[in-house]
Structure 1
């Protein structure tokens, strides 16, 4: 818990924050004020906080709730200024604040209550992460979002394919490189059995999976059977062919972006011995180790 130091409570919103200060005796010293999350607004808030520091001859601590990416910039700003910052999980802060019946719920009140939190419970201060670890966290989270988008797009692609050729997913995995390349160029089942397309499709089936000519011939025969079945069981709408080509293009584009992110994560991981340490744990591989390190930060802390 906080002893003999003033505290600054910050209630964070997208475009502005409410700031307030309490004295080392947990009494209101600085009435809540609003400042924009701009250069001018942050410097104004910093000036007001400096007055608190001068009044008590002690550097105040900063207290704010985690509000996603809105609060991250505020935390980073005050850490750069040398302040001790407490970035508190809102589930914890709400449970403490709600233990007292609150008659009023405003941003000003929340800022004041946040400032007083450190006087009733001990928290662990937030630290400035190493630049490499911060980059790793951003990259692994971005990769997670891209992978999630890819999974959704593959599902949409498969739904469209099953309408036009129900047996196709049993022939080729719709999210595989071979299937994506095939349906991008030949999205309609009738195109799979056209003699003019036979050589191009055979080349895809032989070179992309890298399983040889016999595999390609067997897979092509299955694909022809799928196309013949589709003439009876499928819905031959041109719109489905267009949709299939569109979703396949989206998945292919996401694959390119995921590869770019993966290369950057790999380059960073080679500079961080902690990644190799995590990989030594059974069940944690090249993908999971950077994600864990990015989320937990410096293992030595």
Structure 2
């Protein structure tokens, strides 16, 4: 027998349908909550199926964001094999049904039946390390998005309070720039200070990181900016409150991103593939960690084309009768984060001729009349084939 349990996961609860073999459902739909009592009852249900079939069942579920995480961790703890499939696969399978039925019970049944129609690979144990890396890289991406939004809001407020402050420091969002602005947010306050006082304040905020001459130069530029400012005080005191809040947020985001960056690097360095992927010019530490985390176990892919499809850069195909489409867009069905990381890697590689092989391939595509983005996606496809070869052979990239 080849038993399987189809599991439809939702927020806080799941529905399960067991099969002892293809076309042989076992028992009724089983519903349980994602708490200790519910998961314990699910464990008894799995053991009952195991007893009836004589072998341990595999559990099949869809990827549902973070909702399936408690079930996955519970199954890991009790050493049961499970498969997490792309929701697109199950969605397309449901469309083959003539009857339009959408219930949790029906979804669980269809997931179990789908197991016998497709070839799926169970999640492997080493994947847990990669999952940790994936959570961290995704958290970094999410936090970076919030940091960018806070920067945009801060810039909008600064334009209404002290527009001439832009350009005083090389980096507007550096710690010394933000901390000085937190102490003296208006041009009126800066004009009330001497150049020596401004220099002393900047020195105190930078610590020993900058020379006295650098601090003096910034102070002079800042004093000149305050004199050029079109108004001395803002007409809206609420802007000052918002600015103080945003400065605190920006500094906190910087600290959190720095901590996450260190954690990602520490975790990634434990993987042999981390250094191997970085042997490709254009792929740095962040991109390498994201690519590894999103790909997961390379054993899941027996050909580079499957990895291309997983990244969602495979071309869509359309043909009907004698008509065959010649302009096909990429499917974008795969991992968006992997696709973005690969796109960034290509842009870095072809810039300033860092990756000569990739640059030559890009120039060739452009010479063929391909548009910029079409040529870049062709390079992404080429890069995926290189990554697949590196991860399967465990050998570094060679430019020769």
- TM above 0.5, yes or no, is yes
* 1:115-140 Cα shifts (integer Å, max 9, x gaps): 10012222222223355433322322
**137, 141, 145: which is aligned to 1:144?**
141
Q: Could you say what secondary structure the match of 1:271 adopts?
A: coil
Q: Could you say what secondary structure the match of 1:293 adopts?
A: helix
Distance 1:272 1:90 in 2: 29
Distance 1:255 1:25 in 2: 54
Q: Which residue does 2:160 correspond to in 1?
A: 163
CA 1:214/1:196 → structure 2, altered by over 3 Å: closer, same or farther?
Answer: closer
> Once the 2 structures are TM-superposed, how far is the Cα of residue 152 of structure 1 from its aligned partner?
1.2
**76, 79, 95: which is aligned to 1:79?**
76
Q: Tell which has more relative contact order, 1 or 2 (C-alpha 8 A, sep 6+).
A: 1
Distance 2:18 2:127 in 1: 30
Give the 5 Å matches for 1:1-301: 4-129=1-126, 131-172=128-169, 173-195=171-193, 198-201=196-199, 203-204=201-202, 208=206, 212-232=211-231, 235-299=234-298
Q: Could you say what secondary structure the match of 1:220 adopts?
A: helix
Query: 27-36 or 79-88, which moves further after superposition?
Result: 79-88
> Once the 2 structures are TM-superposed, how far is the Cα of residue 300 of structure 1 from its aligned partner?
6.3
Distance 2:17 2:196 in 1: 73
TM-score by length of 2: 0.67
Equivalent residues of 1:191, 1:197 under 8 A apart: no
Distance 1:234 1:30 in 2: 75
Equivalent residues of 1:86, 1:124 under 8 A apart: yes
CA 1:22/1:281 → structure 2, altered by over 3 Å: closer, same or farther?
Answer: same
* 1:13-33 Cα shifts (integer Å, max 9, x gaps): 111111111231323222112
> Once the 2 structures are TM-superposed, how far is the Cα of residue 170 of structure 1 from its aligned partner?
3.6
Identify unmatched segments of 5+ residues in structure 1: none
Q: Could you say what secondary structure the match of 1:124 adopts?
A: coil
Query: 151-160 or 226-235, which moves further after superposition?
Result: 226-235
Q: Could you say what secondary structure the match of 1:128 adopts?
A: coil
Equivalent residues of 2:147, 2:250 under 8 A apart: yes
* 1:168-217 Cα shifts (integer Å, max 9, x gaps): 22434432223212112111221122226852455527974956455444
Distance 2:13 2:30 in 1: 10
Distance 2:213 2:299 in 1: 54
CA 1:238/1:205 → structure 2, altered by over 3 Å: closer, same or farther?
Answer: farther
Distance 2:34 2:195 in 1: 59
Give the total of aligned pairs.
298
* 1:22-79 Cα shifts (integer Å, max 9, x gaps): 2313232221121111121112112122222222212222111110111122123223
Distance 1:187 1:119 in 2: 66
Q: Could you say what secondary structure the match of 2:100 adopts?
A: coil
TM-score by length of 1: 0.88
- RMSD, aligned CA: 2.6
Query: 226-235 or 155-164, which moves further after superposition?
Result: 226-235
Identify unmatched segments of 5+ residues in structure 2: 301-400
* 1:57-116 Cα shifts (integer Å, max 9, x gaps): 122221111101111221232233333211111111101111223332111111111110
